[in-house]
């Protein structure tokens, strides 16, 4: 793991220009390395930074088609952090048009919308496609979040059940199921799921508040 990534992750670079240079170095040399949203948000007041980062990701995506899904996801997160969420969704749409059977790409597009509570009908289409192509636990977790955002509590529980059957340690599914159970008046089940998720991840409440959701 490059030193720059560790320094950025732990907020050890305070100078804005140095931080931007570090991010650009990672995109150029280690483009598949995920960069935390907080790093992009710390640069969001600089419009020139957005131009440089957007251009860098455009080049990286073109140069590394084998990493399309992950690069598009990080680039879209960067777009959103700078207030250009529409650009991020356009990246997904363009990539999906070229790679409609890329299950990870379809799931990531669904997740990007679900976590921001936007375009949930489109999110559902992409999650359905991802699960049809490759019924992985993480994909059911993504669709469960779409159902949560739409207030479809029973459907959310069904998807979270499917996710946990495949990935029993997936604490996001356990927490999401706890939220749905709370809304359906299943107090004992909700208490158990929420407690287990919090034990596994002490910051999971904060994560879901970021999605606009809480028990």
Q: For the whole model, what pTM was predicted?
A: 0.85
Say which DSSP state 45 is in. Answer: T
Q: Give yes or no: residues 95 and 121 share one domain.
A: no
Choose the final residue of a domain: 99, 124, 141: 99
CA 113, CA 134: separation in Å to the nearest integer? 20
Residue 6: predicted pLDDT: 46
Q: Give yes or no: residues 211 and 139 share one domain.
A: yes
- 37: helix, strand or coil: helix
Q: Give yes or no: residues 163 and 60 share one domain.
A: no
Say which DSSP state 52 is in. Answer: H
193 Cβ contact partners less than 8 Å away, ≥ 6 residues apart = 174, 175, 177, 178, 181
CA 115, CA 106: separation in Å to the nearest integer? 14
- Binned at pLDDT 50, 70 and 90, residue 45 comes out as confident
Query: By C-alpha distance, which of 29, 105, 118 is closest to 66?
Result: 105
Tell me if 162 sits within 8 A of 137, measured CB to CB.
yes
Task: Kindly tell me if the per-residue pLDDT of 108 is higher than 50.
Answer: yes
Task: Kindly tell me if the per-residue pLDDT of 178 is higher than 80.
Answer: yes
Tell me if 147 sits within 8 A of 115, measured CB to CB.
no
- Binned at pLDDT 50, 70 and 90, residue 11 comes out as low
- What burial class does residue 86 get, using C-beta atoms within 10 Å of its C-beta: 0-12 exposed, 13-18 middle, 19+ buried? exposed
Average pLDDT score over residue span 121-147: 98
CA 173, CA 103: separation in Å to the nearest integer? 19
Q: Give yes or no: residues 88 and 10 share one domain.
A: yes
- Binned at pLDDT 50, 70 and 90, residue 47 comes out as confident
Average pLDDT score over residue span 44-64: 92
| 34 vs 122 pLDDT, higher one | 122
Query: By C-alpha distance, which of 7, 44, 47 is closest to 25?
Result: 7
CA 35, CA 12: separation in Å to the nearest integer? 14
Share of the chain above pLDDT 90, in %: 76
Average pLDDT score over residue span 89-100: 93
Q: Give yes or no: residues 118 and 41 share one domain.
A: no
Total number of domains constituting the chain: 2
Choose the final residue of a domain: 40, 69, 99: 99
CA 143, CA 150: separation in Å to the nearest integer? 11
């Amino acid at each position: 793991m490059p030193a720059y990534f560790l320094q950025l992750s732990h907020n050890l670079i305070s100078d804005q220009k140095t931080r931007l240079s570090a991010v650009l170095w990672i995109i150029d040399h280690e483009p598949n390395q995920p960069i935390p949203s907080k790093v992009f948000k710390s640069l969001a007041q600089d419009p020139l930074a957005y131009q440089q980062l957007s251009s860098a990701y455009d080049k990286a995506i073109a140069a590394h088609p084998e990493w399309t899904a992950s690069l598009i996801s990080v680039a879209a997160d960067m777009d959103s952090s700078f207030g250009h969420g529409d650009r991020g969704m356009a990246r997904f749409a363009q990539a999906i048009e070229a790679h409609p059977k890329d299950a990870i790409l379809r799931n990531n597009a669904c997740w990007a919308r679900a976590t921001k509570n936007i375009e949930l009908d489109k999110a559902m289409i992409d999650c359905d496609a991802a699960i049809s192509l490759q019924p992985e636990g993480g994909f059911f977790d993504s669709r469960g979040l779409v159902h949560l955002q739409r207030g479809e509590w029973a459907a959310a529980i069904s998807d979270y059940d499917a996710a946990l059957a495949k990935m029993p340690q997936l604490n996001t599914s356990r927490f999401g199921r706890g939220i749905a159970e709370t809304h359906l008046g299943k107090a004992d089940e909700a208490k158990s799921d929420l407690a287990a998720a919090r034990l596994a991840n002490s910051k999971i409440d904060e994560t879901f508040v970021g999605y606009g959701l809480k028990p």
